[in-house]
Amino acid sequence: MSLDNAYCPALFVTAPGSDSGKTTLVAAMARYWSNRGKKVRVFKTGPDFIDPIFHEFASGSPAHQLDLGMMGETICRQHLYQAALEADLILIEGVMGMFDGANSSANLAAKFGIPLLAVIPAAKMAQTFGAIAYGLAHYQDNVNLFGVIANYVGSPGHAAMLEDSLPDGIEFCGAMPRDSSLALPERHLGLVQASEIEGIDEWLDRAAKALGDSCVLPLPAPVCFEAPDSESDNFLSSAPVSNLASQHLSGQTVAVAKDAAFSFIYQDNITLLESLGAQIQYFSPINDKSLPTADSLYLPGGYPELHLKALSENISMCTSIKHHIQSNKPTLAECGGMLYLLDQLTTKSGETTDMVGALPGKASMQDKLQGLGMLSAEIIGHSLTGHCFHYSKSDITQLPIAIASQAGKTRMQERVYLHRNTLASYVHWYLPSSPQLVCRLFLGQLNCTDGASI
């Protein structure tokens, strides 16, 4: 069945570089329009887990990632189409600088015909503001930069000077004041999670008011978002996944860890599992006494290193998880989820804590970043894609079954382990990149000898 295209106002918020205030501006904009009765859908460019949660708090709707490299154009197009069907406004937060990377914010915006709004940090800057805006608008021919917002502005006079510096054709959409109360707290993997910030709703309302008082915010013109070729090709809908037999995981329950220690979950992974017929049962390794009744287990990444005492002292949960794994039940452990399964984890200060002890090895937290990038691995004939970003080193006492590697010159690598029926690595996998492998994984059908290399 052919579907009609969808139309919705959309805006792509970008910047010259990281730490320009994009997340604050996008969250403030989402709350501003939500407070005015508009339904807002927000996306984050790249494989980020933390920023989308701020956008969910701000908009009241699910926020997803958009990444051409990890997800591919088809799934990105599906996401935007689904959002356009239901929303009054689509906002997309860019990643890093506007032109950074092969799958840059500029290229993603151009791919889907979405106008860009640049947030330019203007502290200690005058006419150079106009030069930066001009460069952003003209560096690539496919860019549609309709306007800029000046951020961290010192005074109304400073704002006027910045506005006067702009060349013709670039709209000045306002100036956000320099205000430390609007800054978001950070830690080693990025911003502190929204769920950990006391008074997050009050902060969002204050940021939205500051934005509304300082900036001109008309709704942008509607953008045409192309429909998938047919409903059956859209795994984001309730229809079966294309090219797979319907309901491969029908009757299966997947226990998914989700709490302050384990929260780095691509919503698309959950959507895929559900579209394959699985029932999702969330649980907390910190607070619950044992695993829920389930056929398989999914331990995503997060911050186990910040909750070592609570995790290690929940002995009944550790025992329950260890029994699950030793019973050869399927398990997927990613980054922090893998650390949790090891024998021990040592903090940067040298404190060592016993973990679940279901995966032979240990790990220690480091001061510097140990792994970052998009990777792919070949596992029993299937290519699985994901992303890693970690500050720990691990010593796991078995051979990997695969190596996840990065394309291009950097060639970063991460080992992938299979212990019993537990697939473990530092990689946060994007499961829709290989639905067939996902079915085999959660059905316990990887058929690899423990410790053997594929």
Q: Is there a contact between 220 and 29 (Cβ–Cβ < 8 Å)?
A: no
Catalytic annotation present for 388? no
Catalytic residue among 8, 76, 173, 335: 335
Q: Which residues contact 381 (CB under 8 A, 6 or more apart)?
A: none
Cβ atoms < 10 Å from Cβ of 383: 11
Q: Is there a contact between 295 and 336 (Cβ–Cβ < 8 Å)?
A: no
Half-sphere exposure of residue 359: CA atoms within 13 angstroms, side-chain side: 33
Quickly tell me which residue has 């008011």 as its tokens: 209
96: tokens are 């890093």
The residues pairing with 151 across neighbouring beta strands, listed in sequence order, are 121
Q: How far apart are CA 244 and CA 224, in angstroms?
A: 29
Quickly tell me which residue has 């990887």 as its tokens: 446
Q: Which is it for the CA torsion 189, 195, 200, 201, positive or negative? A: positive
What residue type is 153 in one-letter code? V
Q: Is there a contact between 81 and 6 (Cβ–Cβ < 8 Å)?
A: yes
Region of 252 please: left (phi>0), alpha (psi -120 to 50) or beta: beta
Q: Where in the sequence numbering do the catalytic residues fall?
A: 335
